[in-house]
Amino acid sequence: MRIKKMVLGHMNNNTYIIIGNDNKTALIVDPSYEPERIIEYITGLGLELKAMLITHGHFDHIGAVDKIKNHYNIPVITHIEEAKIMEDSIKNLSTYFLAREVTANADTYIEDGDQLEYGDDLVFKVITVPGHSVKGVCFYNQEENVVFTGDTLLAGSIGRTDYYNGNQNDLVEAINNRLMFLPLETKVYPGHGNDTTISNEKKNNPFLQ
């Protein structure tokens, strides 16, 4: 597995392209902005994009969904509660932050504990972590010890909880109960900022002490 991080848009969102060991099969996590740049990268490597995995429905994580979906005709996958946020420009905050509507639709709904498989190595367990949003989704690959956390867990911090249906107590509890039990060496790929590890966050994240 190879992971390409693209920092996109005015909010410096991390969009991830996950490439399988066959150097062909690929997934994308949270296509945020600049769809043309994403498409150019995928096309340049001759990748076969299989799906878009959405950690949560906020506008800055879904801005490129429609153009990528139209280009590749691939499914958009998230929790049904996050899909509802994606579809609502007030709940997904685009009306508030951008003064315009940004929406997207999901095709496949996932639940906590589900497993997504795209070949032998692109296998992800679904872990729901509410608090930043209603049913934020983390995608964990046990074989490679990596987890994509969106805006639930960040390097040295956690996601904001003053948005629609956010709750800091719920988020801290969910992170401690659902993510901090992953192996210490697990690499954390968040929706903003630098990569980190479960070990680093367990020792140093002030919100989790």
Query: pLDDT tens-digit profile of 39-56?
Result: 999 999 999 999 999 999
Tokens coding 120: 């032998």
Here the tokens at position 47 are 């990748």
Domain that holds residue 158: 2-208
Distance CA 182, CA 201 (A): 12
Taking only the tens place, the pLDDT of each residue in 137-165 is 999 999 999 999 999 999 999 999 887 77
In DSSP terms, 188 is beta-bridged to 147, 196
Report pLDDT for 162: 83
Which CATH number is 36's domain given?
A: 3.60.15.10
26-35 mean pLDDT: 96
Phi, psi for 95 (deg, rounded to 5): -60, -40
Q: Based on the structure, what is the number of domains in the chain?
A: 1
Percent of all residues in the chain with a pLDDT value above 70, rounded to a whole number: 100
DSSP state of 199: H
For all residues of the chain together, what is the average pLDDT? Answer: 95
